[in-house]
Structures are given as structure tokens and as C-alpha cells.
Structure 1
């Protein structure tokens, strides 16, 4: 890579993380690489990247730190933006994390796991008066400075358990996993088993799931697979035919059923595991990495799960869509996507501002903070 291309990539990375309000998260991530006093004064992601460059930790000849950072922050959409400038940029999900300590990796998992209400409870425990942290990253950054969060987190983890925050505690206790430790294993299904798998999953989903939620989820691939369009997804009325669309496009195949496993976890429908287990056993089913669904798509699923019924009516009216309290929220999301309201960037920012103005706090949080696998509200 030449120097000019490297500078362009730095700009893309800085703009992306700034737009997603990730500077404090990056300060938490890079606390072992940059002096704390220097880090605390930084106001822009480009300052952080330049500091890494000055220390020869990041350069046109060595992007390993950037690969690891994208993987740990989970912002995989960024690599697609970088590929537009440098087509050789790899899929960072397949790269082992070697540039960050296990302690730092645990803090990243912790920050992604803790929701805003949890942040408030931890704030109340350690601060009088409370600091009213904007998010988990501001909290972690401050508690590290106070030496409450440190290498030996035995006491802090115990306090999390006393606050009845087991998932937050687990994020700090889990042992290190390899880059593919939680990935879906390669499957070796013959055609009959594969078709039976699709039948079992679609039957289960039809009985227990939500076809509109699945439509929203699979809209992820309307830009990746030229054979799939939003109009086609909207017209299909059965789960089996939706899965058939993925099969026909090559996204779902006998040797790769990752999408099925990720989809069931992402939609909070892990009970379908029993249907899948009839055909193939998936170790670590509930802990798979999301390789096929972007942060944006995961936020839309969380948005639908968190949407208040009365707020849904208001949101529809704001965008000229007729809905009532019995309308499925994911059907509303599909209509909003068709209108372009939920497109990443300026349109999404404008939409979120409208929700903030209407005091729709749960919906705003779903669209602005990624908390790992969402749960059914």
C-alpha cells in the first residue's frame, strides 16, 4: 500500500468512528498503546490514529492493529467502506486478535454487553453524586482512571453479581476464545438433509417466529446478492420461500448454514436450535459470532423488538404510513426501509433526532447502541 492510500484509509476510519460516536470506545481499546494523559486530551479519532502512526504501531506496511480494532469493536461495515479504496483489505473476522491483551478484549466485550440502565446502576454504586455517564465506554474509561476497573477485576466482578448483572460479569470472566472459537462449524449435509433442515426451520419459525422480522433481517442481502431485492422479499409470504431465496442466491448452502444460526440468535428465537439439532449439531449455538449481519441490521432488529405500540403509531404518522397498535412493528420497519428513512447516514440521523424529540428513549437506544445479541422485549 502506498502512503496516499494509507492516508485515505485513515480518513475513512476516522470519519466512520466519529460518525458512530466511538471515540471514547477507542480510548478504552487503545489505553495500553497510548499514554493516558495524551489519550484523554484527544477530541477526534484522527488524533488517535496519528498517535499510533507516530509510535510506528500503525503504518502503510502494517495494518494489523487496525484489523484487530475493527474486529473487537464489531464495526464490520467499516471494512466494506475501506475496500472501496483498497480492494486487498481482508475480512477481519477471520483474523486472530494478537495486538490487544485478554484484559483489554474483556473490557470490549463488557462495554458491548452493558446496556444504559446497567450503566446507571454501576454509576450509582461507585459515584456520589452520580456521573450520569453517556454510555458504557465513558463509564469504563472513568472507572479505569479511578483504578476500580483494573487487571485484577475480582472485586469489580463480585459487585456486578451483587447488582444482579450476570451477563456483564460473564463478559469479564469468560476465558479467551480463538478467532473462530464460536463460529459455526463447516457442515457436511447432503441434499436431502439440507432440504429437511430448511423444512424444519421454516416450520418452527412459522409457528413461533415472525415472518416480518425475518424479512427485515434478510433485507441485509439486498445489496450483496443481485438476485434479491426488497420487492421480492416483500412479496414472499412463507418462511420456507424466504430461505429458498437465500439458497437460490448461494448465501445459504449445504456447506454453510451460518446465516440460519446467526438469524435465530439475532431474532431471539433460540428455540429453533432443537429443530436444527435434528439434522446437525452446532457447538456453542448461542455464542456464534455475527459474520453475516451488519451492526446496522442488528440495530434495526433491536429497534423492532423495543418499539412501543403507541410510539409505533406516532412513528408511522411522522412518515406518512398508516398503522395502528395491532400492526407488526417489523412491517413498519419494512415500509420505512422502502421509503429510505432507515438508510445509514444522514437520513438515519434525522430519523433518530425525530425519535429523541418525541422522547422515545428505548427506540433511540436500540438504534444508537449495539448491545450484542438483542433479546425479545
Structure 2
């Protein structure tokens, strides 16, 4: 790669991460590579990249740090932008993480999994008055500066357990394992099923987002996206809970690489799973002879059951479940909003916790809800 191409790539990377408001996340990621005093003065991604360049950690002859950074942040859509400048740019999913310690990788996983309400609770434990962190990255960055988050995480994890934050604890305790630690294998894109140019893909994305906004259920979309919180680094419960537009929620799929111009099956599957076949018209406006009869390869049996649960839950039962689980609901609460809250609390996890939840429903004679969680509907057959 020549120097000009390298500078263009740096510019694309900086613009992308700036547009996605990722500077503090990148400061957390590169905290082991740049001196604290210098890092604190950086206000733009391009300056951060230049700091790495000045230390010979990133250059036209060695992009390994960039490959690892994209993999750990999970912003795989950035690859397509870079490939427009340099076609030899590899699929970073297949590259081992070698430039970041296990501790740093765990902190990245922690930041992506902890939700904003949990950030507030951690803030209240460690700060008086509270700092009111705007997100998990600001919290991690500050707590590292205070030496509360450090290489030996034992004490911090104990405090998270006392706060009853199981997902945060799991993110820090679960070992990092090999090349697939940052991205699960099933995030790797499937064999291309269609081929759209950039303009057609953008039109398709806008049409589907607008349709879902006008006719769909944004809380149902949130529950759908929760499927990918353990498989795609850019999709976190924190983001799902905070984002308030269908365009930006579906944008999480695009940023993760799960939805792209060569594979739109995830949109079709979501449509079929939620019974929103009106989206087919939006897809058909752009895609020639689209295939709407696809198997479920992106959504697990567990996720399909949760969607069925939301579709079957009536108002009285929703109120009862909310009271039993300490979640404030009313007659206007959406069942899928309640399901998302139950997921955040770990009540709807697969396995023993789900079995206990089903037993609770059985004891309350919620037969329709029990059937939704026990019986899985077949693969779609859509005309």
C-alpha cells in the first residue's frame, strides 16, 4: 500500500467512527497503546490514529492494529468503505486478535453488554455526586482513570454481583477464546443471495425502515435485535434500549455486517417471523424477483418463541407478569416492551431460568403464553 492510500484509509476510518460517536470507545480500546496524558487531549478520531502512526503502531506496511480494532468494535460495515479505496482489505472476522490483551478485550465486551440503567447504578455506587455518564464507554474510561477498573478485576466484579448485574459480570468473567472470541462464527455473512448496488440498497433500507415505522412495532424490533447481542459487537442491549427510530435500529444490523447489499435475508426472516408481510411490498420495489420463502438461519428457536409470546400475551396477563417480576406496567404497556425488560433482567434466558418462568405461567393458568414458549411454529411458507 502506498502512503496516499494509507492516508485515505485513515480518513475513511476517522470519518466513520466520528459519525458513529465512537471516540470514547476507541479511547478505551487504545488505552494500553497511547499514554494517558496524550490520550486525554485527543478530541478527534483522526488525531488518535495519528498518535498510533507516530508510535509506529499503525502504518501503510502494518494494518494489524486496525484489523483488530474493527473486529473488537464490531463495525464491519467499515470494511466495505475501505475496500472502495483498497480492494485487498481482508475480512477482519477471520483475523486473530493479537494486538490487544485479554483484559482489554473483556473491557470491550463489558462496554458493549452493559445497559444504560446499569451504568447509572454503577455510577451511583462509585461517585458522590454521580457523574451521569452518557454511556458505558465514558464510565469505563473514568473508572480506569480512578483505578477502580484495573487488571485485577476481582473487587470490581464482586461489586457488580452485589448490584445484581449478571450480564456485566459474565462479560468480565467469561474467558476470551481464540480467533472467534470477538465475533461468533455465525456472524460471518452467508453466501450472497442477491446483489444490489449502493443506491438500490440504500433505497431498500429506507423503504423497509419507513414501513416498519408506520405499520410495525418498534418494541418487537427491539426484541428481535436482542438475538444478536452475544454475536455482533455493535448490537448491545444498551443501544437497543436507547435508540428510538426504526431506521437507526435496523442500522445496527447494517453496521454489524449482518445486513448488506449481497444478503438481505435477515429482513425477510424478520418480516416472516413477525407476520408483517406488508414489508414484502417495500422489498419488491427494489429487489427483482425477491425470495420470500427462506428458512430461519438468523433467528434462533428461542427468539422465535419470544416473538410468539409477545403476540399471544393479553393485557391482564401482562399486568400480572409485570407485578410478579417487579416491572411497572399499565394497560398501555406493549407486551414486547415487557419482554425486553424481562430479557434485560435475565428472566427469559434459555435453560433453567426459562423453565422456571414457564412454570410460573402454568401456575397462573396462562395457557396461551405457555404454549407460545413450548411450541415452535414451522418454517415459513409465504406466497
Report the TM-score, using the length of structure 1 for normalisation. Answer: 0.56
What's the CA shift for 1:223?
2.5
Q: Aligned in 2, Cα 1:69/1:211: closer, same or farther, shift over 3 Å?
A: closer
The residue number in structure 2 matching 1:301 is none
Contact 1:96 1:178 in 2 (8 A): yes
Q: Deviations over 1:224-269 (max 9, x none)?
A: 25999999961499xxxxxx93788xxx8xxxxxxx454338x944
Contact 2:94 2:179 in 1 (8 A): yes
Q: Deviations over 1:299-318 (max 9, x none)?
A: xxxxxxxxx999xxxxxxxx
Q: How does 1:120-131 map onto structure 2 within 5 Å? A: 120-131=120-131
Q: How does 1:52-67 map onto structure 2 within 5 Å? A: 52-67=52-67
2:291 corresponds, among 215, 236, 245, to 245
2:300 corresponds, among 257, 264, 285, to 264
Unmatched segments (≥5 aa) in structure 1: 187-209, 238-243, 253-259, 273-307, 311-324, 330-361
Q: Distance in 2 between matches of 1:56 and 1:128?
A: 41
Q: Distance in 1 between matches of 2:267 and 2:159?
A: 49
Q: Deviations over 1:66-115 (max 9, x none)?
A: 00000000111111111111111111111110000000000000000011
Q: Does 1:165 align with 2:201?
A: no
Count how many residue pairs are aligned between Structure 1 and Structure 2: 246
Secondary structure class of the residue paired with 1:263 = coil
The residue number in structure 2 matching 1:90 is 90
The residue number in structure 2 matching 1:19 is 19
Runs of 4+ in 1 over 4 A off after TM superposition: 210-222, 225-233, 325-329
Q: How does 1:157-196 map onto structure 2 within 5 Å? A: 157-180=157-180, 182-184=184-186
Q: How does 1:66-215 map onto structure 2 within 5 Å? A: 66-180=66-180, 182-184=184-186
Secondary structure class of the residue paired with 1:150 = coil
Q: Distance in 1 between matches of 2:28 and 2:20?
A: 15
Secondary structure class of the residue paired with 2:7 = helix
The residue number in structure 2 matching 1:35 is 35
The residue number in structure 2 matching 1:44 is 44
Contact 2:160 2:169 in 1 (8 A): yes
Q: Distance in 2 between matches of 1:118 and 1:140?
A: 12
Q: Distance in 1 between matches of 2:84 and 2:142?
A: 36
CA RMSD for the aligned pairs? Answer: 4.2
What's the CA shift for 1:212?
12
Contact 1:68 1:99 in 2 (8 A): yes
Q: Distance in 1 between matches of 2:180 and 2:54?
A: 32
Contact 1:222 1:229 in 2 (8 A): no
Q: How does 1:337-348 map onto structure 2 within 5 Å? A: none
What's the CA shift for 1:19?
0.8
Contact 2:266 2:298 in 1 (8 A): no
Q: Distance in 1 between matches of 2:281 and 2:83?
A: 33
Contact 1:228 1:245 in 2 (8 A): no
Secondary structure class of the residue paired with 2:50 = helix
The residue number in structure 2 matching 1:190 is none
What's the CA shift for 1:211?
11
Contact 2:14 2:46 in 1 (8 A): yes
Q: Distance in 1 between matches of 2:333 and 2:127?
A: 43
Q: Aligned in 2, Cα 1:15/1:232: closer, same or farther, shift over 3 Å?
A: same
Q: Aligned in 2, Cα 1:309/1:56: closer, same or farther, shift over 3 Å?
A: farther
Contact 2:280 2:292 in 1 (8 A): no
Q: Does 1:224 align with 2:262?
A: yes
Q: Distance in 2 between matches of 1:162 and 1:116?
A: 18
Q: Distance in 2 between matches of 1:83 and 1:225?
A: 18
What's the CA shift for 1:63?
0.4
Q: Distance in 2 between matches of 1:50 and 1:40?
A: 14
Contact 1:184 1:261 in 2 (8 A): no
